[in-house]
């Protein structure tokens, strides 16, 4: 006679803030299976968010083209871990990886876009083009997205929260 648990499927990168709040701003999504994870393998994470709760890291391709000036990235090259702060990254994106790495006892080198050492570019396979358009360097861009529907026979408009380019 108890109340059962409800299973709610949430697509990746569409997590509501109440779910992310359980991670206290330190959610980190890796690729692949847990049994295949090898921490010594070079990897890179894309850190993005707009507040202390919804900022999280997602593993991405370890390549120069994955960088963009509006966010922060964590690059582990095996020998050195870099925290790369794009010119348009916000305070939450800059603070989260530093706190996360310090909690794990991982030493790192924090660098700002434009001040990268040659070893950083070598870890990415060389200095190549990446998304560094001037409008990305001004910080968070606050756009709005709306969903329009007449599926029920009535015209309804809903604001879409925390949308991404994939939407």
pLDDT in tens, 75-105: 998 789 999 999 889 999 999 999 989 988 9
Query: How far apart are alpha carbons 1 and 19 in whole angstroms?
Result: 27
Q: Which residues, 6 or more positions from 84, have their beta carbon under 8 angstroms from its beta carbon?
A: 67, 72, 73, 74, 75, 111, 112, 113, 116, 120
Pair 17, 53: CB distance under 8 Å? yes
Q: Whole-model pTM?
A: 0.75
Higher-confidence position of 20 and 108: 108
Query: How far apart are alpha carbons 87 and 110 in whole angstroms?
Result: 13
- pLDDT of amino acid 77: 86
Query: How far apart are alpha carbons 11 and 76 in whole angstroms?
Result: 27
């Amino acid at each position: 006679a108890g109340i059962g648990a409800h299973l709610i499927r949430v697509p990746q990168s569409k997590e509501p803030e109440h779910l992310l709040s359980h991670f206290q701003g330190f959610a980190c999504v890796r690729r692949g299976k847990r049994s295949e994870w090898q921490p010594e393998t070079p990897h890179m994470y894309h850190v993005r968010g707009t507040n202390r709760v919804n900022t999280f890291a997602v593993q991405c391709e370890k390549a120069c083209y994955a960088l963009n000036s509006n966010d922060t990235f964590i690059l582990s090259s095996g020998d050195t871990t870099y925290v790369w702060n794009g010119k348009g990254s916000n305070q939450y994106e800059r603070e989260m990886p530093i706190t996360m790495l310090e909690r794990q006892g991982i030493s790192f080198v924090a660098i700002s876009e434009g001040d990268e050492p040659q070893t950083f570019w070598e870890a990415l396979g060389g200095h190549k083009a990446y998304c560094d358009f001037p409008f990305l360097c001004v910080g968070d861009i606050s756009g709005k997205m709306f969903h329009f529907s007449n599926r029920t026979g009535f015209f309804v408009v809903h604001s879409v929260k925390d949308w991404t380019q994939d939407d």
